[in-house]
Amino acid sequence: MALMELKKVWNLVEFSDEEVEAYLRLLFLVGKDYGLDYLNTMNIVSSLGYPKSVLLLLPDKVGGARFIMDDIIEHVGHDKEGLVKSAERVIAKAIIEYFPGITLPDGCRAVIMPRGNGAGNMKIKVLAVNCKLMGYTLRPGCPFMRDLLYSKLNVNFSSI
């Protein structure tokens, strides 16, 4: 009953109970890793709400990993990899809702981040995508986004 209400309040009704529970478990386990008890973590998560609570799961600096999911797993701990994978779609939606992104002509949305140390070494890191074909994901596989970035930005996709 409480989970269904939370899903309504956070606008997550499209996700399964298991996906939302995995997201919540991750938040509480990260809080525990920081030395917070259940009530303190609950207060922090409640005050941040969704999508801002995703900040607890993101590393301070996005690393050189190919996918943001790998950066998140590294940040929260490899023992939580299964939870990260179970919560992938909820995390991706939070990133899309919280950070500025791009909307493609077909309606797909993505949050991308430039990386590199100069125009000659510029690469794009895809943080999250809401693809018409794939749905919410932390992987850069949206074919519409790949086509647009390749044609407009001349991005070498072996580098993302």
Pick left, alpha or beta for residue 106 (phi over 0 → left; psi -120 to 50 → alpha; otherwise beta).
alpha
CB 109 within 8 A of CB 103: yes
Spans of all domains in the chain = 2-159
pLDDT tens for 1-42 read: 788 998 999 999 999 999 999 999 999 999 988 888 888 888
**Cα-Cα end-to-end distance for the chain:** 41
Q: How are beta strands 109-115 and 123-131 bridged, if at all?
A: antiparallel
Q: In terms of pTM, does the model score above 0.75?
A: yes
Q: Residue for token digits 């791009």? A: 102
Helices of type H across 10-158: 17-33, 38-48, 68-76, 81-86, 88-98, 143-153
pLDDT tens for 95-124 read: 999 999 988 888 889 998 877 666 566 677
